[in-house]
Amino acid sequence: MSEEVDYIDIGYEQNKRLREEVLERQNEFESNRAIPRRFWMKPGEKRKIIFLDETPACTFEYNVELKLPHYDKPRWGHHFTCIRNKTGKDIFAGLPERVKRNRSYMGFLTIIECCEYEDKEGKLHRNVRRVLPMTSPFTEKVAGWIEDRGSIVGCMFSVKRGTDKKSPRIGDDWQFLEKVDLSEVLDADGIPVDTSPADYAAMLKPKSEEYIKNLLLDAGITLVVGTATAVEKAADGTTGDSEEDVPF
């Protein structure tokens, strides 16, 4: 057996522990974005939705493309509320240039997606509560609907997404259908759906710098925080790629 020194780990335990830490971070990330999930559609799809609230929770947010160990290819959809470290630097400004990312000022509302499907375990779901992620232009559009109608709570809309893969994931054609009685909207068990807004404070709570750095290391990315400079934002609150070109 090799001599025991402080820069070498002997045996399998350290490797097992590190692997467990990676899986724990991945499971935490997946669970944090699972309830309720963000609303989105594939190109060409059509949905009906019902608004459950009308005062958005807003924040600057990063969407980063990562290839975590359990992915077969890089994926978008890794959302992080913008935070600054103790020196006032934007943490994600330390991402290498090769890492694709998008920074936008996002608003969030809670909706019911009028749908019916079975999950992998065969459980039936109907009229599912979702979070609607809105870019600044769409948030402004929603404000216009409220001004016109007085309120959008309980309003059902028809939503279509264009066939272009770069079209907005929440759809680009929204049409008002009718005002519904939320008490009559039932889930798969015939019970009125939960109509309470999502817990935005919990959903958007910033991750610690240590957690973010470790998650990025899992994807083979070293975050260089010490030399990062603050990200300049455009007039519409976005930086980097066009927000409509990048899935959120």
Average pLDDT in the chain: 81
Question: For residue 204, which amino acid is it?
Answer: L
3-state secondary structure the chain: CCCCCCCCCCCCHHHHHHHHHHHHHHHHHHHHCCCCCECCCCCCCEEEEEECCCCCEEEEEEEEEECCCCCCCCEEEEEEECCECCCCCEHHHHCCCCCCEEEEEEEEEEEEEEEEEECCCCCEEEEEEEEEEECHHHHHHHHHHHHHHCCCCCEEEEEECCCCCCCCCCCCEEEEEEECCHHHCECCCCCECCCCCCCHHHHCCCCCHHHHHHHHHHCCCCCCCCCCCCCCCCCCCCEECCCCCCCC
Encoded tokens for 195: 């109509």
pLDDT in tens, 91-150: 787 788 788 888 889 999 999 999 988 888 888 999 999 999 999 999 999 999 999 999
- 180 band by pLDDT with thresholds 50, 70 and 90: very high
Is-contact 205 115, C-beta < 8 A? no
pLDDT in tens, 149-174: 999 999 999 999 999 988 999 999 99
The length of the chain is: 248
Range from 78-92, 94-108, 168-182, 198-212 carrying the lowest mean pLDDT: 78-92
Model pTM score: 0.75
242 has a pLDDT exceeding 60: no
Rounded Cα gap, residues 127 and 193, in angstroms: 7
pLDDT: is 129 or 232 the higher one? Answer: 129
Other beta carbons less than 10 A from residue 9's beta carbon: 13
Encoded tokens for 89: 């630097």
Domain assignments of the chain as residue spans, ordered by start: 13-240
- 232 band by pLDDT with thresholds 50, 70 and 90: very low
